[in-house]
Amino acid sequence: MIYLIVQALRPRRVLIAEPTFSEYRRAAATAGAEVVTLELEPESAFVLDVDRWREKLAGVELAFLCNPNNPTGRLLEIEALKAVVESCRRQGSFLVVDESFLDFCENWREFSLAAAAAAREGMLILRSLTKIFALPGLRLGCGVAHPELVARLEGWRDPWSVNILAQMAGVAALADTGYLTKTRELIRREKEYLYYGLAELAGFRPFHPEVNFILTDVSNSGLTAPVLAARLGRERILIRDCSSFPGLGPAYFRTAVLDREANRKLLQALKRAVEES
């Protein structure tokens, strides 16, 4: 859907708030679009500045917004989200909002723009089953938009964009409401445990998340994310080195929120790495 929308609309200028999911920039490149970047600052905990967003919109035909954002884990507040939508409407900029991680939020319905996108033109909302249901290999998700845009996108869509295994898994997953409840309870409890555990490590600065992963700055620890990733990898623990994200670099890593045993094991391994350094 990310690539589909840029191929269908062929924007000349695309606005992206970074650091964020790298596929937005790659998709813009496939359409030959100029990318305008709004840098999210660590000093403000990577919270999007709506005034700067408005300034960057000049001449922009399509804008990408990830909410909650990957890899920062930040969720844009309701009023700020409304301001972003209104600024795009006034400017005439098409808005794509990626809600792939929104299902991890207890009050996700308050933040979803799916109904608004279906009711009026100028927006596309992306939703994913692969995050909340842990189905990454099946690549299952959807786009929500005004019927006229949906019809236009259908003309560009690959004929077999969702395979039968993904369809079967999707039907089963959506019927399992109990799993959703248990998952949200687990993430709500364990993200606090992991966040405060990371904050206690010398030189670590985790950013409080709204989702199932935590971004951490280790620039004051004497370590780097690549070094940490290598050390933990030898213990069969995988963390995401965020060096490849524009606006981050080797001082940042991202880790998933898992169950208590896995989270404790991660914190113990990180503590050893700090002590060894």
| Residue 103 pLDDT > 90 | yes
CATH 3.40.640.10 range(s) for the chain read: 2-175
Q: Provide the pLDDT confidence category of residue 276 given band limits of 50, 70 and 90.
A: confident
User: According to the model, what pLDDT value does residue 136 have?
Assistant: 87
Enter the DSSP assignment of 40. P
Q: Per-residue pLDDT tens for 174-205?
A: 999 999 999 999 999 999 999 999 999 999 99
Q: What is the mean pLDDT of residues 231-259?
A: 95
Q: Provide the pLDDT confidence category of residue 214 given band limits of 50, 70 and 90.
A: very high
Q: Provide the pLDDT confidence category of residue 277 given band limits of 50, 70 and 90.
A: confident
CATH 3.90.1150.10 range(s) for the chain read: 183-276
Q: Provide the pLDDT confidence category of residue 108 given band limits of 50, 70 and 90.
A: very high
Q: Per-residue pLDDT tens for 151-161?
A: 999 998 988 88
Fold designation for 2-175: Aspartate Aminotransferase; domain 2 (3.40.640)
Q: What is the mean pLDDT of residues 230-238?
A: 95
**Percent of the chain scoring above 70 in pLDDT:** 100
Q: Please state, in angstroms and rounded to a whole number, the distance separating the CA atoms of residues 229 and 216.
A: 13
**pTM (predicted TM-score):** 0.94
Q: Provide the pLDDT confidence category of residue 106 given band limits of 50, 70 and 90.
A: confident
Q: Per-residue pLDDT tens for 41-93?
A: 999 999 999 999 999 999 999 999 999 999 999 999 999 999 999 999 999 99
Q: What is the mean pLDDT of residues 119-137?
A: 94
* Distance (Å) of CA 236 to CA 96, 101, 135, 266: 37, 26, 21, 10
* Distance (Å) of CA 262 to CA 62, 189, 226, 253, 274: 40, 14, 21, 17, 19
Q: Provide the pLDDT confidence category of residue 2 given band limits of 50, 70 and 90.
A: very high
User: According to the model, what pLDDT value does residue 99 have?
Assistant: 97
Q: In terms of CATH, what superfamily is 183-276?
A: Aspartate Aminotransferase, domain 1 (3.90.1150.10)
Whole-number mean pLDDT of the chain? 95
Q: Provide the pLDDT confidence category of residue 163 given band limits of 50, 70 and 90.
A: very high
